[in-house]
């Protein structure tokens, strides 16, 4: 069986692991279904015979208390069993025990005329609760062994969803089956007996499924300690040892307090809606409200599981907490039995699902391997204490003769306190969740290789800088929480500093370099993920600018690994400088597609500016070559590649007229024709009219420049030789003569803010222009080597005696350059 590290680094889980995960989900869903089916049968029976026995009048409270006892009595013992023995074997043993308990309960119902038969059922139900207590840590612990830590948030969500589906499905099916049977026969006892016979047979199927789960290891290093069976609170000590797990456990406990209190209140609600136990209407109404609650809980759990598919989103906890408050007030204030009341119950369930899933996943992920099952057992013990508190509170409310609506409202009061407390603990996570939720609504973010970000320790993310939304988009793609570096001048903007502090921004000074390096290094030493945009400014021409070298010291002093990142597809969004302006333009897509690519982690000592820039350009090449627009290339792939790369940089104006000065069939003619298809609002001509002249962008070679009138808006001279141009009013580009690929181009110098000293050059004397996007860069004996030139093409282009300088221009490396293709 693969270890956890192997599972976390694997792109896909082994098929056998997926099958076993599905089997665990099936077994625990059926187990929960069966247990709660039996529970509902007994509650439904008590509704009918409530006036004939003292136990029946408060059956829901008795069952709630009894189900909690095994977790309190045997919590350390069941935790030890799951830590010591194969969790798969523990699951099998408990399925056998469940079948034995069903036989007991069936016999008790058959002896309906024997005094105390209902009490005998409660004894059988106690042993059924014992098997559930033993099964619980085993099924939770086995999931990490099968799925690993990285996928635990998602799988934990599935586990909670299927468990809740089983619980609520069992309650619904038990109530409906009993009510239907009682309406037909009028026999209260036999209406519970025959469904229980069927459930006993179903238990055999659960046993077979459990036996098909993949074998998991035992842990003989976990030893029995003398007196362990009496150490009732040992598991609680493990839970309370670490603050993070303690708080998560308290949150889960509150969820089960609310969950059980709601289930008890629903019985009161049923009796208010059907005060006369003359038919099966009461049990069927209880099944209905349980099903409605279940729809909400399952929906909320699915939502939480989806949101947490890449990482555990703790911001869901306060959001779910306040949702519970709203749902309880909604249910309590709505008219009894109205559609609004049922809608409030659904909303309450959905909020509860969002509240619970990240708490369970967080507690399991933070637990040590050998303590995982005992931590879960300790959490179960706390959950039972919460259940007993719920029993006591609901019993007091029933004794006070409060209606179900009043009980809903009263329950909202402590829930509001719990929600406020979680907000105080997790304000950053909640704000982050809301912001990133909005980002995912506006942008369709596709992370690539985000598993390359180390799961622990300090990490410095270095990304190209394209737009004002870069930080949020990168954060939405990374599995770990990311802190971003910001100039203190922006951080201290009045009214915004509190927000920046809340989301964990690291402020640095542009004038105090040592303080800036120290601030980032401190965060990295604390094991945090920090993102820095080493260009220090948003690109205004669509290409990567010079990387500032300050990050080198930050990474080394922080003893952190460095992960290069490339954001692809953002240039052209309203928050980029495309079109020569930010913000004041219409978005091209409703959900803007963006790719966030993560590179291999580099040790701090190897992460120089040149190495990181090479890695970023490599990621950019892979991202551009992976775009779906290549499917539109047709047969003329070089011309399409040239047009695509040229369209990614800043020079085009809406309404431009593209004029080819070269004859049909030439690479320039073909490139300009393709470019007119890619650029919005452009048109392609071979002869420009006088009216077109102010909008003409001409493309030609040195030989065809004589055709120019001098009134063109802009002129590109795309050459296959490396001699300098005779005029400075023309924008240079270099085409490789063998592959016909446009490798570089000059563009206009973009306008910069007033007093900004960091100019972004579009032209540089003596250069071949800036390297266009989408090429991998290498060197060989003073020659520039470009690869990643076309999709599914491993060829390279070598430009002799040329190098890529710090600003991204192709410049001579020594002597007069020549070019060749390899």
Contact (Cβ atoms closer than 8 angstroms) between residue 296 and residue 352: yes
Which pLDDT score is estimated for 818?
Answer: 47
Question: Tell me: the pLDDT tens digits for 355-409?
Answer: 988 887 777 777 676 676 667 667 777 888 888 899 999 989 988 989 999 999 9
Give dist(CA 791, CA 645) in Å, integer: 13
Give dist(CA 241, CA 118) in Å, integer: 42
Q: For the chain, how long is the longest CA-to-CA vector?
A: 113
Split at pLDDT 50, 70, 90, the class of 631 is: confident
Q: What is the pTM of this model?
A: 0.71
Contact (Cβ atoms closer than 8 angstroms) between residue 668 and residue 699: yes
Nearest residue to 45 (alpha-carbon basis) of 286, 398, 391, 283: 283
Which pLDDT score is estimated for 608?
Answer: 93
Split at pLDDT 50, 70, 90, the class of 545 is: very high
Count Cβ atoms within 10 A of the Cβ of residue 511 and give its class: 0-12 exposed, 13-18 middle, 19 or more buried: exposed
Which pLDDT score is estimated for 370?
Answer: 65
Question: Tell me: the pLDDT tens digits for 425-473?
Answer: 887 788 778 888 888 888 889 999 998 999 889 999 999 999 988 988 9
Question: Tell me: the pLDDT tens digits for 276-296?
Answer: 655 667 778 888 888 888 888
DSSP state of 571: B
Which pLDDT score is estimated for 459?
Answer: 94
Which pLDDT score is estimated for 798?
Answer: 92
Q: Which of 130-144, 307-321, 488-502, 538-552 has the highest mean pLDDT?
A: 538-552
DSSP state of 595: E
Question: Tell me: the pLDDT tens digits for 506-535?
Answer: 776 666 767 778 888 888 998 989 989 999
Sign (positive or negative) of CA dihedral 78, 79, 81, 85: positive
Sign (positive or negative) of CA dihedral 789, 794, 800, 806: positive
Contact (Cβ atoms closer than 8 angstroms) between residue 397 and residue 469: no
Question: Tell me: the pLDDT tens digits for 37-83?
Answer: 988 888 777 777 655 555 556 677 778 888 888 877 776 677 777 77
Strands (DSSP E) along 703-818, which ranges? Answer: 714-719, 731-735, 742-745, 770-771, 776-780, 783-787, 797-799, 802-804, 810-812
What is the rounded average pLDDT for all residues in the chain? Answer: 84
Give the least confident one: 40-49, 132-141, 485-494, 538-547. 485-494
Which pLDDT score is estimated for 343?
Answer: 94
Whole-number Cα distances in Å, 678 to 61, 185, 671, 684: 69, 75, 11, 11
What would the two tokens of residue 385 be? 């204490």
Residue 489 has pLDDT above 70, yes or no: no
Nearest residue to 429 (alpha-carbon basis) of 473, 383, 480: 480
User: Which residue pairs, CB below 8 angstroms and at least 24 apart, start in 624-633?
Assistant: 624/568, 624/648, 624/773, 624/774, 625/774, 625/788, 625/790, 625/791, 626/448, 626/595, 626/791, 627/568, 627/569, 630/791
Split at pLDDT 50, 70, 90, the class of 150 is: low
Give dist(CA 341, CA 334) in Å, integer: 5
Find residue 793's DSSP bridge partners.
Answer: 790
Question: Tell me: the pLDDT tens digits for 72-125?
Answer: 777 667 777 777 888 889 899 999 999 999 999 888 888 775 667 777 888 888
Count Cβ atoms within 10 A of the Cβ of residue 225 and give its class: 0-12 exposed, 13-18 middle, 19 or more buried: exposed
Question: Tell me: the pLDDT tens digits for 568-621?
Answer: 988 888 888 887 778 666 666 677 899 999 999 999 999 999 999 999 999 999
Which pLDDT score is estimated for 729?
Answer: 78
Nearest residue to 92 (alpha-carbon basis) of 105, 107, 84, 82: 82
Q: Tell me what the mean pLDDT of segment 142-166 comes to.
A: 76
Angle at 285 between CA 283 and CA 287, to 5 degrees: 70
Give me the half-sphere count of Cα atoms (radius 13 Å) on the Cβ side of residue 319.
21
Give dist(CA 160, CA 166) in Å, integer: 10
């Amino acid at each position: 069986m693969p270890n956890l590290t192997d599972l976390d680094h694997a792109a896909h889980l082994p098929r056998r692991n997926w099958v076993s995960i599905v089997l665990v989900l099936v077994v625990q869903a059926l187990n929960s279904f069966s247990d709660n089916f039996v529970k509902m049968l007994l509650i439904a029976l008590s509704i009918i015979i409530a006036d004939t026995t003292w136990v029946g009048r408060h059956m829901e409270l008795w069952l709630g208390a009894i189900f909690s006892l095994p977790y309190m009595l045997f919590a350390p013992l069941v935790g030890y069993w799951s830590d010591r023995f194969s969790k798969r074997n523990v699951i099998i043993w408990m399925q056998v025990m469940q079948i034995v308990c069903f036989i007991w309960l069936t016999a008790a119902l058959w002896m309906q005329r024997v005094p105390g038969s209902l009490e005998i059922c409660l004894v059988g139900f106690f042993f059924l609760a014992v098997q559930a207590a033993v099964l619980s840590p085993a099924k939770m612990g086995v999931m990490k062994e099968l799925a690993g830590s990285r996928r635990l948030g998602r799988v934990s969500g599935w586990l909670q969803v299927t468990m809740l589906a089983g619980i609520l499905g069992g309650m619904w099916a038990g109530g409906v089956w009993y009510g239907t049977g009682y309406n037909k026969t009028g026999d209260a006892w036999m209406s519970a007996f025959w469904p229980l016979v069927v459930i006993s047979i179903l238990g055999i199927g659960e046993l077979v499924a459990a036996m098909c789960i993949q074998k998991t290891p035992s842990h003989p290093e976990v030893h029995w300690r003398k007196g362990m069976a009496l150490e009732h609170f040992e598991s609680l000590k493990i839970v309370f040892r670490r603050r993070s797990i303690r708080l998560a456990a308290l949150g889960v406990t509150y969820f089960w307090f609310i969950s059980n209190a709601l289930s008890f209140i629903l019985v009161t609600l049923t009796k208010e809606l059907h005060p006369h136990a003359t038919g099966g209407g009461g049990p069927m109404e209880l099944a209905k409200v349980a099903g409605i609650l279940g729809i909400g809980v399952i929906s909320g759990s699915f939502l939480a599981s989806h949101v947490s598919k890449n990482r555990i989103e703790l911001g869901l906890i306060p959001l779910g907490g306040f949702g519970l408050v709203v749902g309880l007030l909604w249910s309590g204030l709505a008219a009894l039995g109205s559609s609004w009341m049922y809608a409030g119950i659904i909303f309450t369930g959905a909020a509860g699902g969002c509240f619970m899933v990240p708490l369970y996943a967080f507690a399991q992920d933070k637990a040590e391997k050998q303590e995982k099952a005992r931590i879960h057992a300790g959490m179960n013990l706390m959950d039972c204490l919460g259940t007993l508190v719920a029993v006591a509170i609901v019993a007091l409310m029933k004794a006070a003769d409060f209606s179900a609506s009043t009980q809903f409202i009263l329950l909202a009061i402590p829930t509001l306190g719990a929600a406020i407390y979680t907000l105080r603990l997790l304000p950053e996570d909640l704000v982050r969740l809301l912001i990133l939720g909005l980002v995912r609504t506006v942008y369709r973010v596709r992370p690539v290789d985000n598993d390359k970000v180390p799961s622990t320790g300090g990490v410095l993310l270095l990304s190209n800088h394209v737009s004002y939304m870069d930080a949020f988009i990168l954060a939405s793609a990374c599995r770990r929480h990311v802190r971003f570096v910001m100039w203190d001048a922006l951080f201290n903007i009045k009214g915004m500093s509190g927000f920046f502090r809340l989301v964990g921004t690291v402020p640095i000074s542009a004038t105090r370099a040592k303080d800036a390096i120290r601030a980032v290094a401190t965060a990295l030493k604390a094991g945090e993920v920090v993102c820095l945009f080493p260009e220090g400014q948003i690109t205004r021409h669509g290409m990567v600018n010079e990387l500032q070298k300050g990050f080198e010291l930050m990474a080394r002093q922080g003893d952190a690994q460095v992960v290069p990142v490339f954001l692809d597809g953002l240039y052209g969004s309203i928050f980029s400088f495309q079109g020569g302006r930010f913000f004041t333009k219409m978005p091209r897509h409703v959900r803007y597609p963006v790719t966030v690519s993560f590179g291999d982690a580099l040790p701090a000592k190897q992460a120089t500016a040149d190495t990181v820039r090479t890695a970023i350009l490599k990621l950019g090449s892979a991202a551009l070559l992976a775009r779906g627009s290549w499917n539109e290339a047709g047969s003329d792939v070089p011309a399409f590649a040239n047009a695509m790369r040229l369209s990614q940089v800043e020079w085009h104006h809406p309404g431009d007229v593209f004029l080819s000065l070269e004859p049909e069939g030439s690479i320039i003619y073909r490139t300009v024709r393709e470019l007119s298809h890619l650029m919005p609002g452009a048109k392609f001509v071979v002869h420009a009219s006088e009216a077109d002249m102010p909008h003409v962008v001409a493309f030609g070679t040195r030989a065809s420049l004589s055709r120019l009138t001098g009134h063109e808006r802009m002129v590109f001279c795309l050459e296959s030789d490396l001699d300098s141009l005779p005029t400075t009013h023309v924008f240079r580009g270099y085409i490789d003569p063998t592959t016909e690929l446009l490798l570089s181009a000059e563009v206009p110098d973009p306008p910069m803010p007033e007093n900004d000293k960091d100019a972004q050059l579009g032209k540089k004397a003596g250069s071949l222009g800036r390297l266009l996007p989408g090429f991998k860069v290498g060197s060989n004996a003073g020659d520039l080597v470009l690869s990643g030139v076309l999709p599914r093409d491993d060829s390279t282009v070598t430009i002799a005696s040329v190098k890529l300088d710090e600003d991204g221009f192709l410049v001579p490396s020594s002597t007069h350059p020549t070019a060749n293709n390899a």
